[in-house]
Structure 1
Amino acid sequence: MAKGTMRYWAAAKAAAGVHEEPYDAGNLAEALAAASRREGRSAEFGRVVERSSFLVDGDPVGARPHAAVELPEGGVVEVLPPFAGG
């Protein structure tokens, strides 16, 4: 298990109710599951996360399964929901 920080942007921040929080997980799937189970999280959080893109220490996760994305000790996961505008 690694400890680090998850940062939420735009709709993800609104659904999470916080800008950032710690993670303690071995991979991205575990971190997202733990974040979804946090007290007070609504179903909207899960819907936003399903549509989101992710960066781990600035590197895009891409289409890899979340369970295949190992998280580094002290790392930063950015949760980026789809943005509108131009």
Structure 2
Amino acid sequence: MARIVVRYWAAAREAAGVEQDEVDAPTLAVALDDVARRRGAALATVLARCAFLIDEMPVGRRDPQDVNLREGSVVEVLPPFAGG
């Protein structure tokens, strides 16, 4: 298990009701499940549409179950946004 920070932006922050959470999780999938349970259905809905950065590196289309987390990692939750 790694202790990590999940940082929310824009609509994700609004749905979570907080700027960030700290969770213990070995993978991105476990971290996302944890915060969705903690913060509720509104956040779970937003997470399904988000892109993620881990330590400033894009996750891209990788399966969250295959994305391992390291102690101290920062997961940025980036909802889709308009503009350029």
1:13 is paired with a residue whose SS is helix
Q: What's the % identity of the aligned pairs?
A: 55
- Give the Å deviation of 1:11: 0.2
- Give 5+ residue unaligned stretches, structure 2: none
Counterparts of 1:50-61 in structure 2 under 5 Å?
50-61=48-59
- Give 5+ residue unaligned stretches, structure 1: none
Q: TM-score, normalised by structure 1?
A: 0.93
Match of 1:46 in 2: 44
Match of 2:21 in 1: 21
Distance in 1 (CA, whole Å) between partners of 2:12 and 2:2 is 22
Deviations 1:3-25 (A, max 9, x none): 01100000000000001110200
User: What is the root-mean-square deviation of aligned Cα atoms in Å?
Assistant: 0.8
Q: TM-score, normalised by structure 2?
A: 0.95
Count of aligned pairs: 84
1:29 is paired with a residue whose SS is helix
> Partner letter of residue 74 of structure 1?
G
> Partner letter of residue 23 of structure 1?
V
1:85 pairs with 2:83: yes
Match of 1:4 in 2: 4
Match of 2:67 in 1: 69
Distance in 1 (CA, whole Å) between partners of 2:68 and 2:4 is 12
| Structure 1 ranges of 4+ moved more than 2 A | none
